[in-house]
Amino acid sequence: MPEIPVVRNIMSVNDALAAAVRRQLDAAGVLALNIMASPGAGKTSVIMRTVEALKTEMTIAALDGDVTPVDVEKIARTGIRVELINTGGNCHLDANMMTGALSSLDLTGVDLLLVENVGNLICPATFELGTHYNVVIASVPEGDDKPYKYPAMYRGADVLLLNKIDMLAYQEFDLAYFRHGVEVLNPGVAFLPLSARTGEGFEAWLDWVRRAVARQR
């Protein structure tokens, strides 16, 4: 009996939906970022600090893929438009969920859409969402071996933030070893060490976002 290529079909359906999402975003002049990380690496903290820093310069909206509304409530306190995509136990967002969310989120006037993916270093790497850039957030307490353990996630990053660098003083983390793992998988990727708590290194990230938004306008 021939093997039925179900996985391939699911992926090509997802890719077609992702392409439609991209067209919708481009037509609306919205720059969208797919923000991926392990649970607790600081996706929500990075998003909140980014929103607080940039919300007077541009109009920002957010989508939060999660199994609970904890983060979406936090983000809503910044005053931006935000919607929960309840993934109902799924460990990643996909383009179909994006299509659904964009049918109810008003993109009028929005410059920047921050999409917080589900906290997971495996599955989100495989599903295109139609966003423009993949932002991967690593964090110091997770350890310096993560690029070696999760190659697909690191390979797919367009920009890599290393969060919680204020923790470098308190634990072993070989920055050169981490960086080497990143470079082997993804040579020349934008690499921005920062702390969403102290703000150290954050200005370089904000500049990266400003430039990406300017290109999309």
Question: Where along the sequence are the contacts to a second copy (CB under 8 A)?
Answer: 38-41, 66-68, 70-71, 89-91, 118-123, 126, 139-143, 145-146, 148-152, 164, 167, 170-171, 197
- Total count of residues recorded for the chain: 217
Shortest distance in whole angstroms from residue 40 CB to a second copy: 3
Shortest distance in whole angstroms from residue 86 CB to a second copy: 13
Residues 6+ apart with CB under 8 A from 69: 84, 86
Shortest distance in whole angstroms from residue 131 CB to a second copy: 21
CA distance from start to end of the chain? 52
Neighbours of 56 (CB within 10 A): 6
Q: How far apart are CA 83 and CA 71, in angstroms?
A: 10
Shortest distance in whole angstroms from residue 70 CB to a second copy: 5
Give bridge partners of residue 137 from the DSSP assignment.
37, 161
